[in-house]
């Protein structure tokens, strides 16, 4: 399929994004998954994406703390948290880039240091076809992430993997993103991370490396 981008027209209301996602899921990893708009509101929304066994929830948060991303796994619930700050205006939707095997979310979340730093998380599938996600370490409103975590349905833990130094180069080598599970045969076949170089502030984009197309935020790459 052609790589597609959606730029949010509401900070917190995900109704239009939900409709776009359903209109464009054909031919992607989402095609046979159930996508549900649990709540669509200007003061916060919730979408769930369900594979055969796993369920992932994404929320916008208007004015309090809470889980922005959560995955109901076999052994635990894995989350990406938003830590509210005094006078905050929450965690809000920015944009996404969708390809055959994954989707990258850009999310703006208020920081106690001021402003709305943009952080990212990826939703993809593991080798069993179950939904999985990759996110920065710590809370989603961290201003300078130094690592990332991988959560799959069968994950037993989500250790932090250190991000490589930023060389502000458009070129990179890629390494597989590997979940920690009780079964070493489970992989994330389409997810990769920059090894030698990265350009972390480039935003959502598509690149060609070695004859393959990827979507990326500069740190993580999903093969189309």
Whether the predicted pLDDT of 137 surpasses 90: no
Supply the DSSP string of 94-156, one letter for each residue.
Answer: EEEEEETTEEEEEEEE--TTSS--EEEEEEEE-TTS-EEEEEESS-TT-SS--EEEEE-TTEE
Q: Which pLDDT score is estimated for 144?
A: 75
Cross-strand partners of 98: 4, 103
How large is the average pLDDT for residues 13-29? 97
- CA-based Rg of the chain, rounded to a whole angstrom? 16
Q: Which pLDDT score is estimated for 209?
A: 87
CB neighbours of 211 closer than 8 A, spacing ≥ 6? Answer: none
The whole-angstrom separation of Cα 23 and Cα 1 is 13
How large is the average pLDDT for residues 109-129? 89
Question: What average pLDDT is seen over the chain?
Answer: 90
How large is the average pLDDT for residues 79-93? 83
What torsion, rounded to 10 degrees, do the Cα atoms 28, 30, 33, 38 define?
-150
Q: Which pLDDT score is estimated for 201?
A: 63
Percentage of the chain lying above the pLDDT 70 cut = 91
Q: Which pLDDT score is estimated for 55?
A: 97
Q: Which pLDDT score is estimated for 120?
A: 92
The closest alpha carbon to 128, from 58, 54, 78, 193, belongs to 54
Find out whether 160 and 135 touch, Cβ atoms under 8 Å: no
Phi, psi of 194 (to 5 degrees): -65, 140
For residue 96, what is the enclosing H or E element?
Answer: strand 91-99
The whole-angstrom separation of Cα 25 and Cα 36 is 13
Euclidean distance between the first and the last CA atom of the chain, given in angstroms as a whole number: 8
Q: State the pLDDT confidence band at 102, using cuts at 50, 70 and 90.
A: very high
The whole-angstrom separation of Cα 134 and Cα 167 is 22
The structure's pTM equals 0.94
Q: What is the pLDDT of residues 157-215, one digit of tens each?
A: 999 888 776 666 666 788 899 999 988 899 999 999 887 656 656 789 998 888 999 99
Q: What is the pLDDT of residues 31-45, one digit of tens each?
A: 999 999 999 999 999
Q: State the pLDDT confidence band at 89, using cuts at 50, 70 and 90.
A: confident
Q: Which pLDDT score is estimated for 198?
A: 62
Whether the predicted pLDDT of 112 surpasses 80: no
The whole-angstrom separation of Cα 152 and Cα 93 is 23
- The more confident residue out of 218 and 14 is 14
In the sheet with 102-109, reading across from the earlier edge strand, the strands are: 4-7, 91-99, 102-109, 118-125, 131-136, 147-151, 161-162
């Amino acid at each position: 399929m052609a790589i597609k981008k959606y730029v949010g027209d509401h900070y917190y209301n995900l109704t239009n994004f939900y409709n776009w996602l359903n209109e464009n899921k054909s031919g992607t990893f989402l095609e046979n998954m159930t996508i549900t708009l649990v709540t669509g509101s200007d003061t916060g929304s919730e979408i769930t994406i369900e594979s055969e066994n796993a369920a992932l929830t994404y929320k916008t948060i208007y004015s309090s703390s809470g889980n922005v991303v959560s995955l109901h796994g076999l052994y635990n619930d894995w989350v990406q948290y938003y830590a509210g700050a005094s006078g905050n205006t929450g965690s809000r939707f920015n944009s996404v880039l969708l390809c055959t095997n994954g989707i990258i979310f850009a999310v703006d979340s208020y920081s106690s240091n001021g402003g709305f730093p943009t952080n990212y998380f990826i939703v993809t599938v593991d080798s069993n076809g179950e939904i999985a996600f990759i996110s920065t370490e710590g809370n989603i409103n961290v201003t300078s992430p130094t690592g990332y975590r991988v959560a799959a349905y069968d994950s037993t833990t989500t250790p932090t993997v250190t991000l490589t130094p930023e060389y502000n180069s458009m070129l990179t080598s890629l390494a597989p993103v590997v979940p920690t599970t009780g079964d070493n045969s489970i992989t994330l076949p389409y997810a990769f991370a920059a090894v030698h170089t990265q350009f972390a502030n480039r935003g959502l984009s598509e690149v060609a490396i070695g004859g393959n197309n990827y979507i990326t935020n500069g740190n993580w790459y999903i093969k189309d």
